[in-house]
Structure 1
Amino acid sequence: MPPYAGPPVRIAVMGVTGSGKSTFIEQVTRLQGIKIGHQYESCTTDVEPFEFELDGRHVTLIDTPGFNDSSRSEAEVLTEIANYLDFTYRNPPHLKLNGIVYMQSIQDPRMYGSSLRNLKMFKDLCGESPMKSVLLTTNRWDKARSCGDFDKAVAKETELRDKANFWQPLIARGARMVRWDSDDTRAGAVEIVRALMGAAPEVLQIQRELVEQEKRLVDTTAGNTVNEEVLRVEKEYQAELVKIRSEMQEAVAARDEEVKEALEQSKKDYERKLGKIREEQDLLHYERRNETRRMQNEMDDLRSAYDRKLEKQLSAQKLDFDEVVAKLTANQGKLRHEQRVAMQAEIDKMKKEKSGKRSAGQLIMKILPLVGTVVLGAFGIPFAFGGV
């Protein structure tokens, strides 16, 4: 293979679920098999790089899940994105991004809550300096034309550009707005990528915080934003539980079994929700404050369908427990301190099991939320780059 015409290019593609990220990547790379979601259903569950050649350069487009993911919490999505950005920057060759394509459907009637929240998380991840390498990309202009809504779309574009709670602060820091008309098929998407290929690689704010400042995820700007919301919801659920318990006492005193049973179910529902909230806190803090709670809820409440399928795949591969432990141990120096501590705790706990009960697949399932699929793949754990 002849040498490339210039240094490699790495561009992240971000935006809310259903904004067209995966479609954009499929158009540019011409790679087959990229899962495309529909409307608000997410098909991108992990950070996933796609490599191709453009103008003699090696280009990697990095697909990312949105923070309004229909199947995962903000804490899970942040952990997945942060782990990828941390690992690729912390370890040689210390990769940085040349730019970011931030996708937004011009057909969305307004910037609803999840869009604004996603934008807030995006700003917290990036910081100020990388904004000059961001292309704020509106798409689905072809659909706006075909529906007779083109004038409304132009008005929406103006609103995005000019309003202080939308894109105006990003543009003030150097971000640029572009249109992607999928009627142009690949040509328009390629031009957007070309516009970022000459940009100098930048360190994102979250990479600087995690790698250079050695902060815990919860102490980063993005982590703090997620944690504040987690704490707010936790307080809300706790208040509801107090109210339900009081009403249950009244129902018992009144011997109203029907009301008591209904309140019992409500109590269980809120306790389950609190369990999920505390799991999100565990992810942000990398703590295991109540392992029994996490184990009970993980399969049924957090990612039950995904986890069952993944565990079945791992079991079928008949991975050797000691070999997996050796690979994890050999590479633990590439992780953050809190990741190393949490991973070693899981290994030590599994080692206490009788040899016949030790499972490489179960160990990987414990480690996966801590480091993510890309990191495990780099460690040589064979399932990581395969489909689930």
Structure 2
Amino acid sequence: MTSPYIDETQTIIAVMGTTGVGKSTFIKHATGGDAKVVIGDKLNSCTGKCDVHHIPKTNVWLMDTPGFDDTYRNDGEILEEINNCLSESFHKDAKIRGVLYVHAITEPRMRGSAMKNLRMFREVVGAENMKHCFLVTTKWSKQPTDVSERHEVELATNKDFWKPLLDRGAKMLRFYDSQQSAYEIIYPLAHCPQFLFKLTVEYDVEKKKLEQTTSGKMANEELEKAKAAFQKEIEELRQDQRLALESKDKKMVGMIEREKEKLNAQIENMKAGQELLKKKAEDDRVAMAASLKRQEDIRSKDKEYMKNRVVRWGIRAAAGTVAVAATVGSGGVAAPAAAVWMVGIEARLQADKEKERY
């Protein structure tokens, strides 16, 4: 993905978290109602790709990222999407200064996809960068405050949840569904020094392939786990299918066959995610490098053209001065020769100019 919005003048705050925790609501409040932000109220993911949203009257942009629990895409695709956005920011010298990790306070514990998402967050950002991270809890209006406060304590003190992040310098903040609350969370981060995600260091600085990064290895492990789980389900379905065949239950046999087809499709999706980690990000790296090279070549040619233009006008001015002096000094006798000389110089300058056209 190449975004026209990202450049070196921007301060970027990344927004991360699972589906349905309130990321889009937070961004909507922060941007004063950005029409592009879609807020979901169902379990299907609304943040399908990385996008950036401007906070009006500032140079601050919020980078909205998909969670690693996307309804339709595997972890390999999601990591590739996030990596592309981070890599583009790196190559365009945009200044990433902070990360907001969003979690709904209505969830008393982290289970399943939430735990996986948290593990991926730690690897993508890097434990050494936790001082740039705010852990933001949302949906405080959805339940009694005392219940939310108990959940908050659990998040902060459990070593499987946020305690290791807080110990490394992350801060825990509450979002109260207002623009003012969003500003109070964002602006301290916006004034922090810029930093590089661990994923960016490994991919763009150390030039590792995406599958070789710590995040890529973890995503691959998660895909392997998912494949194994699906394959186990298929084996159980095969056993059920044999029983159904023995009992001549054709309807059940058909249902089991359809379920097997779905699981096989999911396994193929997992395999595609693993292949993507190997290939697609590397292809994007090459394409982005080529694009940046073309932009740099154009800028260099523009600079050279302007430099030569100044030189040409300097030559014209000097030649004109010499021609006038020769004409005056000769009492006008040298005027025809001076004119021919000037025409010759202009012809040479025009020929040089034509060579620079591109």
- Does TM, normalized by the shorter one, top 0.5? yes
Partner of 2:149: 154
Structure 1's 87 and 249: CA in aligned 2 closer, same or farther, altered over 3 A? same
Q: What is the letter of the counterpart of residue 13 of structure 2?
A: I
| CA deviations over 1:93-145 (Å, ceiling 9, x no partner) | 3334100111111112322222211111110110022210111111222333x
Query: Could you tell me how far 1:86 is from its partner in structure 2?
Result: 1.7
Residues 86 and 194 of structure 1, relative CA distance in 2, 3 Å threshold:
same
| 1:61 aligned partner | 62
Aligned-residue offset at 1:246: 7.0
Distance in 1 between the 2:243 and 2:104 partners? 51
Identity %: 33
| Equivalent position of 1:105 in the other structure | 104
Are residues 248 and 125 of structure 1, via their aligned partners in 2, closer, same or farther at CA, if it must alter by over 3 Å?
Answer: same
SS in 2 for 1:65: coil
- C-alpha separation in 2, matches of 1:165 and 1:330: 39
Q: Where do 5+ consecutive residues of structure 2 fail to align?
A: 1-8, 293-358
Once the two structures are superposed, the pairs formed by residues 35-74 of structure 1 within 5 Å of their partners are 35-54=38-57, 57-74=58-75
**Residue number among 215, 219, 223 corresponding to 1:222 in the alignment:** 215
Residue 264 and residue 94 in structure 1: after superposition, are their counterparts in 2 closer, same or farther (change >3 A)? same
Alignment of 1:7-156 (within 5 A): 8-33=10-35, 34-54=37-57, 57-89=58-90, 91=91, 93-144=92-143, 149-156=144-151
Q: List per-residue Cα deviations over 1:123-181 (Å, max 9, x = no partner).
A: 0110022210111111222333xxxx211111111111111111111111110111111
* Other-structure match for 2:187: 194
Report if aligned partners of 2:97, 2:132 keep a CA contact under 8 Å in 1: yes
Q: Matched residues in 2 for 1:282 and 1:271: separation?
A: 17
8 Å CA contact retained: 1:64, 1:81: yes
Q: Secondary structure at the match of 2:71?
A: coil
Distance 1:17 1:214 in 2: 31
Matched residue of 1:98: which SS? Answer: strand
CA distance in 2, matches of 1:157, 1:251: 50
Structure 1 gaps of 5+ residues are 1-6, 288-327, 336-388
* SS of residue matched to 1:100: strand
Residue 106 to residue 279, structure 1, CA distance change in 2 (3 Å): same
The two structures have a TM-score, normalised by structure 1, of 0.65
Code of the residue aligned with 1:333 in structure 2: it is: A
In our comparison, the structure showing a higher alpha carbon Rg is: 2
1:380 aligned partner: none
Structure 1 distance, partners of 2:39, 2:184, is: 21
Aligned CA-pair RMSD: 2.8
Secondary structure of the corresponding residue to residue 44 of structure 1: coil
- Would you say how many aligned residue pairs link Structure 1 and Structure 2? 279
TM-score with structure 2 length normalisation? 0.70
* Between 270-279 and 232-241, the greater mean CA deviation after superposition: 232-241
- Residue 221 and residue 105 in structure 1: after superposition, are their counterparts in 2 closer, same or farther (change >3 A)? same
Equivalent pair of 1:87/1:334 in contact (CA under 8 Å): no
Are the equivalent residues in 2 in contact too, given 1:101–1:137 (CA < 8 A)?
Answer: yes
CA–CA distance in structure 2, aligned partners of residues 163 and 278 of structure 1: 34
* Paired residues of 2:175 and 2:182 also in contact (CA < 8 A): yes
Amino acid at match of 2:28: E
